[in-house]
């Protein structure tokens, strides 16, 4: 069976319906290698996805194929339609009465052509990763074998990925589902080759239920011109979806403005219940801007801890036990703070477990993720859970005067499945669980605003596109790689070797709409190595806030004193790594850039492509001690080859463009590159150019007028950067 037009040809086996060929006719590139053909679909009854015996029939129209597979207990139907430069898939599975298929995997594409070191896989896992030569390390199980969406700790923050050979051609895969149903966007080894698939299910895991895929899963041809090519395709669709309907952050000014305009750095995990004023004062003085502190979880009536338990019923959460000296100094500094909450996570060995038990989320087994979700979580659709969440947070606000709320292990890193249908949703839930979290955040935010008389921003661990209307900030760790772990742990070795790297994929699509990212997993000490300079630059120039993190290790040693592990919510070992004021000052220059000249771009702008330029590489050293003592990452060290300069670009939405350049190495660097309206995708017109430097000096930046960039001009620009220097080229 063949579907084709002038651009593309799809072939499918007449006996099984398996897709056997996908040809870019213009480039004469075949993307499927044949050989060990994969099954046309898989289904899940109780265990893992499996192939089933079936009978098959098909029909053809002018530009579409209709496919039907009859198996024991269910019928799967699909339609494959031609697009101008791609293919579109839809499918639906109907269980027989009493039958119990819960999910199906369709379509399955593979084996994909292997491009070796020139092959790239960009996936929205962990908000954006780029893998080189993925077939050499993508596993058959774990990794991205089951990449659930929306779930960005173990799966996908957006509904697309791309596989390509650099400069020659590739494929864009996307589920165009504006309702954000539970699905999986998988890439894995199968029969020795690389496979890609879409999977859906658990909307209604009841006997006899139907599993409809009421959206298009599309595969489009690309030119292989980097991950941005696919991100541009997805962005053009994503901007039209409900999660962007409220407009950009600039459109919504008046909500959480201080996170974008008043704070230049953030911390995470400083003890809430013990005096840490010495460190709070030093950060404020040496960085030179206000900060945002997500204080550690030890503020609850019964302490939240890592490994020893979390609160149960409401009496374990409140009254609050914040250290008043910390809160006083935060106010004196002009800083802001949020309490760390484990959100829907409750301790069943604490107060009133029998009251909580009926409201717990029931996860599937297996979980269809590399995460086992071994949590006692309140289901967000349950009325008790909604009331509990709102009343707890309003009480915390009333007692402590918090500036924001932070939720760990929450909507963005949990699979959207609950098999307990007594919570007001169908067994499985899927989209109902997605919407349940949204409703909880919306209702809690409204109650907090009514109590405070102003908006109280909400933030979570990790981020997904569907929650953009409800969340204002999020905490992540991956941009500190390889000197951090957690969401990228299945690929730790590839991260260390540079075979897999972080890319700002989520920010490229959503920065102007999205929540502020807190990342870097940093310490202001010399021991973590020169990678510190690269990480700080990357976090800020990709639009985030650098995070000083103290979850699993002591704070920096100041005046011969570091914090005591016995006072912490995680019992760490002493480290005796001294605070380095010069490293705080390095963070400070980026903080000032973000809050001043760079603010319209780094806080509110749209990420854009920088000019073509040759960026030299260098080798950074790193050491990682901010982790659990039993983790393989604990006290790991090494070297890491990466760019000697970090470069990014943003537009401000009003016709202006800014290029940011940071020298993260210890020797002077000079860059020469060309700019023009055409190459930068700017609208027609004559623009002024200026180069701004000197962000290392308080209120003393230097501006060099570079004259006018004329309509058809292709201007060569030269920028010299001192060691650890920072520059901004603005064209407006």
Token output for 634: 């604990």
- Residue-wise pLDDT tens digits, 97-116: 999 999 999 999 999 999 99
Q: Where is pLDDT greater, at 485 or 596?
A: 596
- Residue-wise pLDDT tens digits, 296-312: 999 999 989 988 889 99
Q: What is the CATH number of the domain that holds 225?
A: 2.70.98.10
- Distance separating alpha carbons of residues 587 and 585, to the nearest angstrom: 5
Residue 431: inside a domain: no
Q: What is the mean pLDDT of residues 400-417?
A: 97
Domain boundary among the residues 210, 243, 276 is at 243
Residue 110: inside a domain: yes
Task: Find out whether 317 and 614 touch, Cβ atoms under 8 Å.
Answer: no
Q: Residue 247's CB: how many other CB atoms inside 10 A? A: 11
- Residue-wise pLDDT tens digits, 567-584: 999 999 999 999 999 999
Task: Find out whether 291 and 279 touch, Cβ atoms under 8 Å.
Answer: no
Task: Find out whether 459 and 471 touch, Cβ atoms under 8 Å.
Answer: yes
Residue 537: inside a domain: no
Token output for 710: 């004329």
The continuous run of DSSP H or E covering 286 comes out as: helix 277-287
Which pLDDT score is estimated for 36?
Answer: 67
**Token match 């001294």: residue?**
578
Which pLDDT score is estimated for 256?
Answer: 84
State the total domains in the chain: 2
The closest of 622, 605, 621, 613 to 646, measured between CA atoms, is 613
pLDDT band at 241 (very low <50, low <70, confident <90, very high): very high
pTM: 0.97
- Distance separating alpha carbons of residues 506 and 288, to the nearest angstrom: 29
Residue 206: inside a domain: yes
- Distance separating alpha carbons of residues 74 and 99, to the nearest angstrom: 7
Residue 430: inside a domain: no
Has residue 470 got a pLDDT over 80? yes
Question: In the predicted model, what is the mean pLDDT of the chain?
Answer: 96
Has residue 429 got a pLDDT over 80? yes
- Residue-wise pLDDT tens digits, 172-224: 999 999 999 999 999 999 989 999 999 999 999 999 999 999 999 999 999 99
Domain boundary among the residues 243, 267, 296 is at 243
Q: How many helices (H) and strands (E) does the chain have?
A: 12, 39
Q: What is the mean pLDDT of residues 401-425?
A: 97
Which pLDDT score is estimated for 695?
Answer: 93
Lowest mean pLDDT among 37-51, 442-456, 549-563: 37-51
Task: Find out whether 417 and 430 touch, Cβ atoms under 8 Å.
Answer: yes
Residue 138: inside a domain: yes
Q: Where does residue 449 rank: exposed (0-12), middle (13-18), buried (19+ CB within 10 A)?
A: middle
Residue 310: inside a domain: no
Domain boundary among the residues 217, 243, 269 is at 243
Q: What is the CATH number of the domain that holds 677?
A: 2.60.40.1180
- Distance separating alpha carbons of residues 526 and 583, to the nearest angstrom: 8
In the chain, helix, strand, coil percent, each to 5?
Answer: 20, 35, 45
Residue 536: inside a domain: no
Q: Residue 114's CB: how many other CB atoms inside 10 A? A: 15
Q: Residue 219's CB: how many other CB atoms inside 10 A? A: 23
Q: What is the mean pLDDT of residues 9-15?
A: 96
Task: Find out whether 562 and 574 touch, Cβ atoms under 8 Å.
Answer: yes
Has residue 43 got a pLDDT over 70? yes
* Residue 537 CA, distance from chain mean position: 18
**Token match 């309140």: residue?**
378
Residue 720 is part of which domain span?
Answer: 617-621+644-731
With a pLDDT cut of 70, the percent of the chain lying above it is 100
Q: Where is pLDDT greater, at 699 or 231?
A: 231
Has residue 35 got a pLDDT over 80? no
With a pLDDT cut of 90, the percent of the chain lying above it is 95
Backbone angles phi, psi at 392, to 5 degrees: -60, -50
């Amino acid at each position: 069976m063949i579907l084709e037009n002038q651009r593309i040809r799809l072939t499918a086996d007449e006996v099984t319906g398996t897709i056997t060929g996908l040809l870019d006719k213009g480039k004469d590139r075949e993307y499927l290698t044949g050989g060990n053909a994969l099954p046309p679909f898989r289904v899940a009854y109780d265990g893992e996805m499996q192939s089933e015996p079936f009978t098959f029939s098909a029909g053809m129209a002018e530009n579409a194929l209709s496919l039907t597979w009859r198996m024991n207990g269910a019928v799967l139907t699909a339609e494959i339609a031609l697009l101008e430069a791609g293919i579109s898939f839809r499918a639906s599975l109907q269980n027989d009465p009493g039958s119990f298929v819960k999910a199906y995997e369709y379509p399955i594409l593979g084996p994909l052509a292997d491009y070796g070191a020139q092959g790239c896989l960009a996936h929205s896992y962990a908000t954006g990763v780029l893998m080189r030569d993925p077939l050499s390390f993508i596993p058959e199980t774990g990794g991205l074998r089951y990449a659930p969406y929306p779930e960005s700790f173990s799966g996908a923050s957006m509904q697309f990925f791309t596989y390509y050979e650099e400069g020659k051609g590739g494929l864009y895969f996307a589920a165009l589902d504006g309702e954000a149903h539970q699905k999986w966007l998988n890439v894995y080894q199968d029969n020795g080759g690389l496979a890609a698939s879409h999977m859906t299910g658990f909307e209604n895991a009841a006997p006899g239920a139907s599993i409809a895929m009421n959206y298009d899963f599309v595969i489009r041809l690309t030119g292989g011109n980097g991950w941005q090519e696919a991100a541009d395709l997805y962005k053009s669709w994503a901007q039209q979806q409900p999660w962007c309907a409220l407009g950009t952050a600039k459109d919504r000014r008046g909500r959480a403005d201080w996170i974008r305009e008043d704070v230049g750095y953030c911390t995470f995990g400083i003890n809430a219940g013990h005096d840490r004023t010495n460190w709070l004062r030093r950060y404020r003085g040496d960085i030179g801007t206000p900060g945002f502190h997500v204080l550690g979880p030890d503020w609850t009536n019964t302490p939240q801890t890592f490994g020893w338990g979390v609160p149960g019923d409401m009496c374990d959460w409140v009254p609050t036990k914040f250290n008043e000296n910390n809160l006083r100094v935060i106010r004196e500094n002009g800083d802001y703070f949020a309490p760390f909450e484990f959100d829907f996570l409750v301790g069943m060995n604490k107060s009133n477990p029998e009251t909580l038990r009926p409201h717990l989320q029931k996860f599937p087994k297996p979980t269809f993720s590399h995460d086992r979700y071994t949590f006692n979580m309140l289901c967000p659709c349950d009325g008790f859970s909604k009331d509990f969440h709102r009343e707890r947070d309003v009480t915390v606000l009333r007692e402590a005067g918090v500036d924001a709320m932070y939720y760990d292990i929450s909507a963005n890193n949990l699979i959207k499945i609950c098999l307990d249908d007594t919570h007001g949703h169908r067994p499985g839930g899927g989209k109902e669980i997605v919407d349940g979290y949204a409703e909880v955040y919306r209702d809690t935010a409204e109650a907090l605003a009514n109590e405070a008389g102003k908006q109280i921003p909400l933030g979570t661990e990790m981020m997904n596109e569907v929650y953009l209307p409800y969340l204002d900030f999020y905490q992540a760790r991956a941009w500190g790689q390889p000197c951090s772990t957690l969401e990228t742990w299945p690929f730790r070795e590839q991260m260390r070797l540079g075979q897999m790297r972080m890319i700002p994929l989520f920010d490229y699509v959503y920065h102007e709409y999205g929540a502020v990212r807190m990342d870097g997993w940093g310490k202001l000490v010399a021991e973590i190595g020169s990678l510190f300079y690269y990480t700080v630059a990357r976090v800020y120039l990709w639009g985030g806030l650098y995070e000083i993190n103290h979850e699993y290790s002591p704070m920096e040693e100041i005046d011969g004193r570091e914090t005591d592990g016995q006072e912490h919510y995680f019992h760490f070992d002493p480290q005796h790594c001294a605070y380095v004021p010069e490293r705080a000052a390095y963070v400070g220059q980026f903080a000032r850039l973000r809050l001043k000249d760079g603010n319209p771009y780094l806080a509110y702008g749209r990420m854009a492509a920088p000019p073509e330029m040759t960026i030299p590489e260098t080798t950074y050293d790193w050491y990682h001690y901010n982790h659990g003592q039993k983790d393989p990452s604990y006290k790991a060290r090494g070297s890491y080859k990466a760019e000697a300069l970090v470069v990014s670009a943003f537009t401000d939405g009003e016709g202006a463009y800014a290029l940011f350049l940071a020298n993260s190495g210890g020797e002077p660097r000079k860059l020469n590159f060309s700019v023009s309206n055409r190459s930068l995708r700017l609208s027609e017109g004559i623009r002024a150019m200026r180069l701004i430097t000197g962000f290392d000096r308080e209120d003393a930046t230097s501006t060099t007028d570079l004259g006018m960039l004329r309509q058809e001009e292709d201007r060569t620009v030269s920028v010299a950067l001192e060691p650890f220097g920072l520059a901004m080229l603005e064209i407006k």
